[in-house]
Structure 1
Amino acid sequence: MRTALLLIILTILSYDSEAAEVWHPFGPGGGGWIEDVVAHPTNPQEVWAMTDLSGLFRSQDAGLTWRKMSADVERGVMARKQIVSHNRQFAMDPNEPRHLYWGTCGMIWTSHDGGESWQAAFGKPPAVGDDRTPGLGHAIAVAADGSVYALDHESMLRVSRDHGATWTELSKPPVAKNSSDTPAFPLTLADGTLCVACRPSPGLAISKDGGRTWRMTLPESIILNARAAPAGSGREGTLFAFDSTGKLHRSDDSGGSFTLIKETRHQWQPGTRFAGGLAVTKGGRVMLWALGELVVSADWGATWTRHRIETHWNRGSYPGMNRFATPEGKCSALDVTADGKVWLKCDSSLMCRSTDFGVSWTGSTTGLQVLCYFNGPAISPHDPQQAMVAALDQGVFKTNDGGASWQPMRIQPEWWNDKWQNQDGSVVKAHPAKPQTWFAIIHGHGGTRHPRLHRTDDGGETWTLVLDVKEKFGGEWGKWLDDSEMGDLCFDPSNPAIMHLANYQLGVLRSSDGGASWTQTLKTKNGLSLATSPSGQHVYLQCVKRTGLYASHDRGLTWDVAHRADGVDGLAHHPSDETTLFISDGQHENYWSHQGERPAKLLKSTDAGKSWTELARLDSGPLYIDPIKPEIMLMSTLHGGKGILRSLDGGQTWADFHHDAPSHTARGFTYGGTPGSVIYHMFGNMARTTKLYEMVE
C-alpha cells in the first residue's frame, strides 16, 4: 500500500513539474528600456531587472538568462499594453529575501515566496482606460529590521513593519516629487539611518528617527545615486553619494559629513535618463559608471583605476541595434552579486555583465525581452527553424536555429552605421512559395517615421525597397509611437502574387504582381490585421475602435462592412472551411484601453460573415485556430482577468491555458511551425509552447 501511495505521489510531483513548464520565452532579448538591476542580498545567482515595457524579470544564473515574473501584477491591474517600472521601485528584504516589494502602477505589490506570486499591498488598480496611473511608482527601500519604506509620486513617505500588510504615513522628505522624469530613491544604512534623494532637487535628506524628521546634507549637489556599504562589511556607517557634476562623495559617519573622493567627467542635465551607476561589495570594491567614464576602486575609494571598455566589449546574447554610440557612454543602474564576483550594468536596451571587475563586458539579454511587438513572428513555412520578427526601435531580427540565436537584418543601410542606429519594424512575413523571400515593413525613426515595404530574395542578406507608402499614397504620419505604425500583410493562398497590405491610417492596399505595384482598394482607418479564406476568395480586415469587420469576396478588389461594431479585437479564419471565421466583438477605445461595461463577445460565422452566432462572453480578444487540428483554439481575454484560454471543441467551451505564461494577456498568436507549437506576442515579449495538444493541468 505504501509503495503504491509513493508511486502516486511521485507521479503527481512529476506531472506538476512538467506542467509548470508550458510557455518558454521566444525571440531576441533586450530592447525598450531596462531601468534597474537589483542583486539578491545573499544568493549570488539571483538578480532582478526592471523594465519600462515588460515589468519584472528574474535571473537565477547571475544574469546569464532571464524570465519574466510579473504576470500576477499585470492580471491585477488588467494591463493590456505594458507595466512601467523605474529605478528604485523594487527592493528585497536584506535578511528575509523571500519578501519582495515592487512599487508600480500607482500601487505597492508584495511577494512572500521569492517572486513566484504577487499580491496588492497598497493602493487600488488603475481605472480601466486610465493611461496615467500605470506610469506612477513608489520608490522602495527595506531596512535591516524589515521595515519597508515607500515614497509615492507626491513624495509622501510611508512605512510598513509587517511585510506590507499595513502602512503608516511618516512625512514628506524635503526633496522634489518622485516621478519617472524625476525619480527618487530612498536607501537605508545598517544602523537604521534613512536617506532620500530626488533629482533634480539638490541635497541628500537624512533621517535618524525612521523618517519622521530630516536634515539636509550636500545641499549644493544634485545626488544622482547613492550606495551604503553592505551589511557585514565592517563599514556599516559608510555611504557613497554621486552627484550631477561627476563628483563622488563618501561619508563614514552615516551621512554626518562627506569627503570628496573622486571626480569624473560626468555632466548630467535634467531629463537625462542615464544618471550613472554605483555599486559596492562587502570587501570594499567600488565601481562607478559615469557618463563616458568607468572607474573602479579596491580600497573603499582611496585609489582608483579607469577601464576603457571600447575594445573589451562583446554583444554576447544581445542582437539588437543600440541608439547610442558606445556601451561606455551610458548607464541607468549598476549592481554586484552577493559574492562580489559578477557586476551587472543596464541602460536602455542593454544588460551587460562583467566577471573581471569591469575590465571586460558582455551583453546578457537572453529572455530579457523588452521589445515592442506590434505583430507576431513570421515562421518560415519551408523550414520552421527559420523565423523573423519585427520590433519597434530595433528593426527586424532573424533566427536560423529555432530561436536559440538572433541576428539583426540590415534593411535600410542609410540607418546603419558604426553607431548601431536603430530603426522601427512593425510587420514581417515569409513568402508562402519562395523559401528565400521575405517582406518587412519598416517605419524609420524620428521625423522620417512612415511605412516602407522592403523585400529580400536571399534570406535577408540584401533588401530592396518596393513601396514607400507615404510617397505613393500620402497620409499624415506621427513622429513617435502612435497607431500609424500598425498594419499587416498577407498573401492570397491560391496565388501568392496577390498581396494585401493593411495600414492603420489608409485602409487596404493590393498588389497583383508580387509587390511591384500597388492600388488602394479600401479607404478606412483603424485597420489592424488581415485574414483570408483557404482559397483566398474571401479577405477580411479587422478594425479596432469604430468600424468593425470589413469583408471582400472577390480577392480584395471590393469591400463591404461584414459586421458593424465599435471594435473587433480578434479575428481568425478556419484553415480548411472556406466560409467559417471567428471574431471578438469588443468595446474598446483603442487596442489597449477598455471603454464601456459589457465584455467582448466571441462570434462565429459559417457563411463568410453574412450572419453571426454568439458563442461566449469571455471578454475575448486575439484568437487562434490551430491549422492542423482546427477544433483547438486559443483566446486571449482582455479585462476579464482570465488570461489565455483554450477550446477543444471549436470554440463552444473554454478552459484555462495560461499556466506559466510570462504575460497576463496576449496581443496575438502565431503557428510555431510544428504540430502543437504556438507563439504568443505581447507588447514587450513573446513566448512559445509545444504543448497545445496536451491535457496540461
Structure 2
Amino acid sequence: MENSLNLPGVLLPAGLGGGGYITGLLQHPADNRVLYARCDVAGVFRSRDGGESWETLNRGLTQAYHHQVQSFAISCHHPEVMFRCCGEVRSRTFYGAVHKSADGGNSWYEVCSGMGFYGNGPTRMYGEVIAVDPVHPGIIAAGGYTGGLWISRDEGESWEQSSLPEERFGCVAFHPDQPGMLYAGTISDEELNMDYADPGEYGILGLLQDRPRGKAGRMYLSRDSGQSWELLVEGPSFAGLSFDSRDPQRLLAACIWGGIKSSADGGQTWQSAGEGLLIGKQRYGTLIQDWHVPDRWYTAPDLRPQMQDIPPIPLYVSDDGAERWKLLHHHNDNDLSGFPAYMDSFNGGSRASAAGWAISKIIVDRFTPGRLYLCNWYGVAYSGDGGMTWRAGQFRGLETTCMEAVVADKLQPGKFCVTMADHSPKVTEDGGLSFRNLPGLSGYSGSSAAVISAADPGLYLYGLIGHGRTACIAVYRDGEDRARAALTLGPGLFVQALREDGNQPGTYYAYVDGAVSAGAGIYRSRDGGTSWDRTAFRPPAYVQTLPYQKRWIEAELLSVVVYQVKNACGSNQLMDTNPHQAGQLIAGEATEGIWQSSDHGDTWDFIGEGLPFQHGGPASILSAVAYSPSCPGTIYAGFISEGLWRSSDGGQSWHKLFPVMAGKLFNVSALCVGRGEHGEDVLISASEPMVRTSTESEMAWSRDGGDTWEEWEHAPLGAVRWKGIALDCEVRQVLAVTCGNGAFRGTISL
C-alpha cells in the first residue's frame, strides 16, 4: 500500500472515498478504459481503469471558482484536447472561465472569461453546455449561466459572443450527422433546482443574486455553426438533448419538470414521451440512447431522500425508441458491491437508496455492450449487465467531500478525526490511508467541530449539523453502539469549536455560533461532556450574532454556496485552551477581536489590540487562534487577507509573522501549531483562494516558530480551498482538509 511517510513534503489524497456530487461523466472517444468526471466543487477527475479508481486533474487552476465545474467536453478529433467551464457568484457578480487542456487533462490554461458559469448552482447536474463540432475540429460552442453563448473557430484559443440573448443555457449540442447544425437549449427561472434551499424573504433569484432571465425555456438552432440563429420553440426547459441515431430529424430532450419530450421534425415541435415513467411531478435531467441497441434508451428522475414511493435506483429503460418506459430493475443492497460503508447510514440504512440518489448522468459504454455508468451525489458506479447490478471501486481517488475541520489525537501517532458538511465525523488511525465512521444522530446530516480526548482515550465530542439549521454536541466512546446528544441547540446555532482543558481532565469548552440572544457564546462542561453551562463570555452589546457579520462571512465570503450558511465555511479554529495553564482559554470573533479567560470562562479580557480587524477592508477577518505548545505566553492569530500574527506576551502586543513582504495577501484559512523536537513551534498555514481577495491556493510551514518559512509544493492539486490542518502527536504526519477536494495526507521533515 502506498505510504506517504517516505515522501516528506508531498501531499497525497486521503482514503475518504467520494461523498460529493459528480455532475457529469464522459468516456474517451478512443480508449474504453478512460473516463472523465466533473464535480460541482472539486474539479475534474480521470479514471484509467473503467471507473475503478480515479485521479484529480486540476493542475493550472488558480482562482476560487476554478474547481466549480458546470460543464466539460472532449474533442472527438483530437482526444487530448479537452475543455472545462467553471464559475460561481459572489457579491452579485457571476465569475466564469473556459479552460483548455492540450494533454488529456494533465494541465489546463484559461482561454475565455466572457461567460459566467455556476458550477455549484441550480443547473449543475444537467446537460453539457460546451460542445465540439463533430465535423470541424476548430469549432467549439459554449453557453453560460450568464453572458450568452460564445463560439470559437480556432479550437478554443479565441472566442466571440454570438447573437443569442443572455439566458441560462442548459444544453449545447452539435448534431452528429448534419454538418453545421448547432442546438442550444435554455432553462426558465421557474424551473431552477432550488428545492433544497429556503428562499425566505429573498426569493430564488435573490438567493442566486441574479436578474430574471426568462419565464420560459427555449430551443435555438443555428444552421451555420453559430453564425446565425432561429428560435425553434418556447415553453419547456431543456436540460439535456439527445439525437436519435435512427432518424436525423428525431430529437429527445430531458425537460426537468416537463419530463421527457420528443421531436420528429428537428426540434420544431415537441410531444411528451413519458409513458410508463413515474406518476406525478418528477425532475428529469439525463437521457441517453444505447450505442449498441438503438431502440433502447435510458433515463432517471432526480430522486432525493425526502421523496416517497420511488424505487431505490430509479433507472428507467425503453426498448421501443423512447415511446414507452419501464423500471429496469427494483434494486436492493445485494445488487451493489464496492460502495463505501458510509453510504449505509443514509436514506434509512439502504445502500441502494443512496446509490440511486440524485443521479445526474447515465452513459452507455461506446465499446462494450451492456456496460453502463452512472454518477450521482456520492461518486461513479458501473454495470456490466445492462444495469441489473452495480459496482463501485470504493470511489478511490474520487475525493469530493466538503470538509469543515480536522483534529489530531494527542496520544496516538497518525490518528485524526475529520468533520464534513454532509457526513458524520470519520476517524483515521493510519495517517489518512483509511477511515471509519463515528455515528451520527437521527435528524443530523453533517458535522462541524470535534475533539479527541487526551484524558479519556477513545472518547470523542463533536458538533452535528441538523435539518432546519439546528445543531448539537454529540458524545461517543469507542465500542459503544451509538452516540448521544449532550447539548441540543436551537435553530440557527452551530458548534464552531470544541476543546479539552489539557490540565484539568474532564473539562471541555464549546464555541457556539449564531444569535447571542438564542444562546450563542462559549460553553463549558466539567463532567466529561455530559452536561453544559454557558460561560460569562459576552461580546460587545452591538454584536448580536457570532460572527458579527454572520450572513456576509458565511454566505458570501467563505461558504461554498451563497445560500447555504455554514456549508464548509471552516470551523474548530476560533477557540483554544492553553496547554500551560489550567482554565485558560481564548476565543476570537471574526471582525471584532480576541478575548481571554483565565478562570474557566467566568471572566474575560480583551487581548486583540493591534490586530488588523477590518484594517484591510471587509475581507480582513479573524479565522484562527492558537496557543503555542512550546512557549508559555505565545499566541497565534490568523486572518483572511492579513496573514498570520504572533504575540509573545499573552496578547498584550502583536506583530505580523507571515507573509512579511509588502502588498502580498495571504488567507489563513487553516492553521496548526505543533511542538518540535527541540522545543520550538512548528507551524503550518494554508491559504484558500477567494474571489474577494484575489488570492491563490498556498501552503507554507515553519520549523522555528514562524521566523522562516518554506512553501509546500501542491501545484498539481489546483485551486484547493484549505479548511483545516492538523499535525499528529509526533509532529510528523499531516492531515489537511478542504472544501470540495476531501483530505490530503503527508509528512514533514524536521
Q: With the length of structure 2 as denominator, give the TM-score of the two structures.
A: 0.73
Pairing 1:282-321 to 2, within 5 Å after superposition? 284=294, 286-291=296-301, 293-296=314-317, 306-311=327-332, 312-314=335-337, 316-317=339-340, 319-320=342-343, 321=345
CA deviation map 1:165-203 (0-9, x unaligned): 211222317xx9216xxx344344243321222345456
Pairing 1:357-436 to 2, within 5 Å after superposition? 357-363=386-392, 364-376=394-406, 378-384=407-413, 387-399=416-428, 403-412=432-441, 414-415=442-443, 423-436=445-458
Q: 1:245 to 1:113 in 2, by over 3 A?
A: same
Offset of residue 383 of structure 1: 4.4
Q: 1:205 to 1:395 in 2, by over 3 A?
A: same
Provide the C-alpha distance between the structure 1 equivalents of 2:283 and 2:375, rounded to a whole number of angstroms. 12
Contact 2:574 2:623 in 1 (8 A): no
| Residue matched to 1:263 | 275
| Residue matched to 1:351 | 380
| Residue matched to 1:84 | 68
Contact 2:472 2:485 in 1 (8 A): yes
Offset of residue 358 of structure 1: 0.8
Provide the C-alpha distance between the structure 2 equivalents of 1:309 and 1:528, rounded to a whole number of angstroms. 46
Equivalent residue letter for 1:118 = W
Contact 1:268 1:275 in 2 (8 A): no
**SS of aligned partner of 1:171:** coil
Q: Does 1:612 align with 2:654?
A: yes
Q: 1:385 to 1:643 in 2, by over 3 A?
A: closer
| Residue matched to 1:331 | 359
Offset of residue 488 of structure 1: 0.8
Provide the C-alpha distance between the structure 2 equivalents of 1:339 and 1:542, rounded to a whole number of angstroms. 59
Contact 1:141 1:148 in 2 (8 A): yes
| Residue matched to 1:592 | none
**SS of aligned partner of 1:396:** strand
Contact 1:34 1:49 in 2 (8 A): yes
Equivalent residue letter for 2:653 = S
Provide the C-alpha distance between the structure 2 equivalents of 1:380 and 1:238, rounded to a whole number of angstroms. 61
Q: With the length of structure 1 as denominator, give the TM-score of the two structures.
A: 0.78
Offset of residue 110 of structure 1: 1.9
Contact 1:23 1:687 in 2 (8 A): no
Offset of residue 557 of structure 1: 3.7
Provide the C-alpha distance between the structure 2 equivalents of 1:66 and 1:628, rounded to a whole number of angstroms. 36
Provide the C-alpha distance between the structure 2 equivalents of 1:48 and 1:72, rounded to a whole number of angstroms. 17
**SS of aligned partner of 1:319:** helix
Structure 1 stretches lacking a partner, 5+ long = 1-17, 416-421, 471-476, 479-483, 587-598
Provide the C-alpha distance between the structure 1 equivalents of 2:275 and 2:357, rounded to a whole number of angstroms. 16
Equivalent residue letter for 1:500 = Y
Provide the C-alpha distance between the structure 1 equivalents of 2:268 and 2:736, rounded to a whole number of angstroms. 54
Contact 1:191 1:237 in 2 (8 A): no
Among 576, 583, 588, which residue is 2:630 paired with?
Answer: 576
CA deviation map 1:364-388 (0-9, x unaligned): 5333333332212x44445456544
Offset of residue 690 of structure 1: 2.8
Provide the C-alpha distance between the structure 2 equivalents of 1:53 and 1:306, rounded to a whole number of angstroms. 31
**SS of aligned partner of 2:747:** coil
Q: Does 1:511 align with 2:525?
A: yes
| Residue matched to 2:684 | 634
Contact 1:39 1:48 in 2 (8 A): yes
Contact 2:577 2:584 in 1 (8 A): yes
**SS of aligned partner of 1:504:** strand
Structure 2 stretches lacking a partner, 5+ long = 1-5, 88-95, 189-215, 302-309, 515-519, 540-545, 548-571, 615-620
Equivalent residue letter for 1:142 = V
Contact 2:461 2:473 in 1 (8 A): yes
Offset of residue 519 of structure 1: 2.6
Equivalent residue letter for 2:742 = M
**SS of aligned partner of 2:464:** strand
CA deviation map 1:295-323 (0-9, x unaligned): 44689769987421422234612623445
| Residue matched to 1:441 | 463
Q: Does 1:225 align with 2:273?
A: no
Offset of residue 276 of structure 1: 3.6
| Residue matched to 1:160 | 152
Equivalent residue letter for 2:68 = V
Q: 1:194 to 1:452 in 2, by over 3 A?
A: same
Provide the C-alpha distance between the structure 2 equivalents of 1:125 and 1:492, rounded to a whole number of angstroms. 51
Offset of residue 652 of structure 1: 1.8
| Residue matched to 2:560 | none
Q: 1:132 to 1:260 in 2, by over 3 A?
A: closer
Q: 1:134 to 1:258 in 2, by over 3 A?
A: closer
| Residue matched to 1:451 | 471
| Residue matched to 1:623 | 671
Offset of residue 427 of structure 1: 2.0
| Residue matched to 2:505 | 496
Contact 1:615 1:652 in 2 (8 A): yes
Equivalent residue letter for 1:317 = P
CA deviation map 1:410-449 (0-9, x unaligned): 432x44xxxxxx6222122211132321112112112xx3
Contact 1:43 1:338 in 2 (8 A): no
Aligned length: 623
| Residue matched to 2:178 | 191
Q: 1:166 to 1:132 in 2, by over 3 A?
A: closer
| Residue matched to 1:101 | 83
| Residue matched to 2:709 | 654
Q: 1:188 to 1:655 in 2, by over 3 A?
A: farther
CA deviation map 1:269-312 (0-9, x unaligned): 5xx76524425436648441222542446897699874214222
Q: Does 1:41 align with 2:95?
A: no
Offset of residue 514 of structure 1: 1.5
Equivalent residue letter for 2:99 = W
Q: 1:208 to 1:523 in 2, by over 3 A?
A: same
Among 205, 208, 221, which residue is 2:220 paired with?
Answer: 205
Among 599, 621, 645, which residue is 1:603 paired with?
Answer: 645
CA deviation map 1:595-629 (0-9, x unaligned): xxxx4142222222222232233524032223445
Equivalent residue letter for 2:397 = G
CA deviation map 1:624-666 (0-9, x unaligned): 2234454542221354325112224331232320323465341
Provide the C-alpha distance between the structure 1 equivalents of 2:319 and 2:102, rounded to a whole number of angstroms. 35
Offset of residue 210 of structure 1: 0.8
| Residue matched to 1:534 | 579
Offset of residue 399 of structure 1: 4.7
Provide the C-alpha distance between the structure 1 equivalents of 2:252 and 2:241, rounded to a whole number of angstroms. 5
**SS of aligned partner of 1:102:** strand
Larger deviation: 139-148 or 42-51?
42-51
Provide the C-alpha distance between the structure 2 equivalents of 1:185 and 1:460, rounded to a whole number of angstroms. 53
Q: 1:450 to 1:241 in 2, by over 3 A?
A: closer
Provide the C-alpha distance between the structure 2 equivalents of 1:134 and 1:290, rounded to a whole number of angstroms. 21
Equivalent residue letter for 2:425 = V
| Residue matched to 1:26 | 14
Contact 1:603 1:616 in 2 (8 A): yes
| Residue matched to 1:9 | none
Q: 1:661 to 1:156 in 2, by over 3 A?
A: closer
Contact 2:253 2:287 in 1 (8 A): no
Q: 1:544 to 1:99 in 2, by over 3 A?
A: farther
Offset of residue 404 of structure 1: 4.7
Among 710, 720, 734, which residue is 1:664 paired with?
Answer: 720
Provide the C-alpha distance between the structure 2 equivalents of 1:278 and 1:650, rounded to a whole number of angstroms. 58
CA deviation map 1:109-135 (0-9, x unaligned): 222222222222222799xxxx99985
Provide the C-alpha distance between the structure 2 equivalents of 1:502 and 1:532, rounded to a whole number of angstroms. 12
Pairing 1:523-562 to 2, within 5 Å after superposition? 523-524=538-539, 525-526=546-547, 528-537=573-582, 539-562=584-607
Provide the C-alpha distance between the structure 2 equivalents of 1:35 and 1:208, rounded to a whole number of angstroms. 29
Contact 2:696 2:719 in 1 (8 A): no
